[in-house]
Chain A
Amino acid sequence: MTTQTSIEPVHRSVTVDRSVEDAFRVFTEELGNWWPVETHSIAKDAVETVVMEGQVGGRLYERTTGGEEHGWGRMLVWEPPRRVAFEWHITGVPTEVEVRFTPAGQGTRVDLEHRGFERVENGAERRDSYSSGWVTVLGRYAAAAA
């Protein structure tokens, strides 16, 4: 392997007017209540809920009203109420998302990093099994950019 294209991770932050514990709970346990599934999911309007299983190795997935489950990722870190990280399979090549919860004044600062866009090689076999893959991502990008 020679040159490795380095790609800056995505960094996004938001401060919420809630305790660290509340912010963590809403983000993880109550993901299904706020995640914008109409636009940010595989089955869109057919999505009933989004589930993040609270343990390392747990699944992150959407469930449709018909009971189908579409995997989004797998939990890599589960450290309530300060940090979670998960593999993000929607990219086809699994990337990684890490979310940190830090007290900030009366509220909580939530820092999200999505990294691994330059990731390579060894995941080929695993990622071939992901049906959603890059298609979904590129399709949405195209739609968003249109």
Chain B
Amino acid sequence: MAALADPTRRAVFERLRGGPRPVGEIARDLPVSRPAVSQHLRVLKDAGLVTERRDGTRRLYRVDPNGVAAIRDYFDEFWNEALAAFKAAAESEGRET
């Protein structure tokens, strides 16, 4: 779950959010080697944030929508809890007046 802790890995991930890309293209505008990018992609894949598919001779990497949906689901619950706390606070505060 520390998959996105590394800034370079996050940069790799960010470059995939515009659509599927091959390793070479991801590496091109990053100040790291291609093998390093491959390594980062492997970690992202293991974390369920990125998927890989073959396209002829090359591999294309893309953001796994399920992984990103998991983030959204997390925030569904996150805001449920925050708003419930807000409601409780708003309605109890100043009730005596």
The secondary-structure label for the interface of chain B is helix
A-B contact count (CB 8 A): 132
Of residues 1 through 31 on chain A, the ones whose CB sits less than 8 Å from some CB of chain B are: 1-5, 7-8, 10, 12-18, 22-23, 26-27, 30
Of residues 32 through 91 on chain B, the ones whose CB sits less than 8 Å from some CB of chain A are: 47, 63, 65, 68-91
Q: How far is the CB of A111 from chain B (nearest CB, A)?
A: 10
Count contacts on A: residues with CB < 8 A to the other chain: 52
Contact of A128 among B1, B2, B7, B84 (CB under 8 A): B7
- Cβ of A82 under 8 Å from chain B: no
Closest residue of chain B to A3, judged by CB?
Answer: B19
| CB <8 Å contact, B91 and A110 | no
Count contacts on B: residues with CB < 8 A to the other chain: 43
| CB <8 Å contact, B19 and A2 | yes
- Cβ of A40 under 8 Å from chain B: yes
